[in-house]
Amino acid sequence: MAILIDEGTRVLVQGITGSEGAFHTRHMLAYGTRVVAGVTPGKGGQSLDGVPVYDSVRDALAEHEIDASILFVPAPFACDAMLEAAEAGIPLLVCITEGIPLHDMLRCYHLLKGYGVRLIGPNCPGLISPGKAKLGIMPGEVFKAGPVGIISRSGTLTYEIASHLTKAGIGQSTVVGIGGDPIIGSSFTELLPLYEEDPETELVVLVGEIGGAAEEEAADWVAEHMEKPVVAYIAGFSAPPGKRMGHAGAIISGSEGTAEAKANRLEARGIPVARTPAQVAQLVKEQLA
């Protein structure tokens, strides 16, 4: 088991012929992910390392069974591509694209919800169930299979934390990068229930950062609903208010969204908060012991 994806997941790549799409499709294939088809409008009939390319999602679905789609579609067209996949009936979308207009995403999120689709991202590294499947752009060798789930708003910081766990001999069930934008498809509270139910996951690590209140909401949800232990890390204690720290969503507005407020709420709810990425592995070890 794992959550959302495993070795059986059949994957579509939208934007497969672009440089990013092609590069990461090869890496996903090398990792063992079952990439069954790709879509780029106008490029139907081509193939990429043996993966057939179609003009539309419907064309791809006429020939293949597909469980999830990963999108490397440029920002101006990303919502269109997500809706095309949703309308065709693909239940899980992973949108890597960065820079999608906020107002596009506000509409798109609610339209996708109407289709009953689960979206991971946008502006995210994707997700990986180590040893089983990778729908994303993360370096696979950093991860190893095991009992720890990770949900994170950031990319490289997740690799950093996962590598500490892996070096300590602690593997991961599924690692989800939920994205650094203000409007994302799945937040902490929407994924925690899946980990709570996953028999393979024994503990969940939350990697948060400044901006918004998703960490605070997660802290409350964990305290009220979760049996499994949770460990957290928050980035951005030294970030000034009003400045966008890289991610569109990483900004302290007024006094809202500070790292301190998040850490305080998590700790008040009994969730230990690591002070350094390395310390996450120590806390996980203690909790699992």
Partner 1 sequence: MRLLEWQGREIFEREGIPVPAGELVRSPGEARAAAQRLGGAVVLKAQVPVGGRGKAGGIRRAGSPSQAEEIARQLLGARLKGVPVEALLVVRAVEVRSEHYLGITVDRGCRMPVFIYSHSGGVEVEEVARTRPEAVVKVPVPPLEGLFAFRLRRLFSPAPAPLRRELFRIARQLFSVFEKYECSLVEINPLAGTEDGLVALDAKVIIDDDHRPGDQFAGLSEASQDHLEAEAREAGLSFVRLDGEVGIIGNGAGLVMATLDLVAQAGGRPANFLDIGGGARAERVRKAVELVARTGAAKVLFVNVFGGITRCDEVAQGIVEATAGLGLPVVVRLTGTNQRQGRRILAQAGLVPVDTMEEGAAQAVALAKGGT
Spatial CA neighbour of 90 closest among 37, 23, 133: 37
Give the SS3 label for residue 3: coil
Residue 247 annotated as catalytic: yes
- The answer to the question of residue 217 lying near partner 1 (CB under 8 A) is yes
Q: How far is CA 137 from the centre of its chain?
A: 10
Q: What's the angle, vertex CA 52, arms to CA 25 and CA 67, rounded to 5?
A: 65
Token digits for 282?
A: 């120590």
Smallest gap, in angstroms, from Cβ of residue 63 to partner 1? 31
51 or 210: CB nearest partner 1: 210
**C-beta of residue 44 within 8 angstroms of C-beta of residue 51:** no
Applying CB under 8 A, which of residues 168, 226, 278, 288 lies at the interface with partner 1? 278
Tell which positions 81-110 bind partner 1, by CB under 8 A: 99-104, 106-107, 109-110
Among 34, 132, 247, 262, binds partner 1 (CB under 8 A): 247
Give me the least distance between CB of 102 and partner 1, in Å please: 4
Q: Nearer Cβ to partner 1, position 8 or 103? A: 103
- Using the contact rule CB under 8 A, the part of the chain among 1-9, 28-36, 39-47, 133-141 near partner 1 is 133-141
Residues 85, 277, 281, 283: which binds partner 1 (CB under 8 A)? Answer: 277
User: With contact defined as beta carbons under 8 Å apart, do 63 and 52 qualify?
Assistant: yes
Count of CA atoms in the C-beta half-sphere (13 A) of 288? 22
Q: According to the binding rule CB under 8 A, does residue 269 interact with partner 1?
A: no
Please give the sequence-ordered ranges of beta strands (E in DSSP) within the chain, or none if there are none: 10-14, 34-39, 47-48, 51-54, 68-71, 92-95, 118-120, 126-129, 133-136, 145-152, 172-177, 203-209, 230-235, 273-274
Which of residues 48, 60, 137, 230 is near partner 1 by CB under 8 A? 137
Binding site for partner 1 (CB under 8 A): 75-76, 99-104, 106-107, 109-111, 114, 137-139, 142, 152-160, 163, 180, 182-183, 187, 207, 209-210, 212-214, 217, 233, 235-240, 242-250, 253-256, 259, 275-278
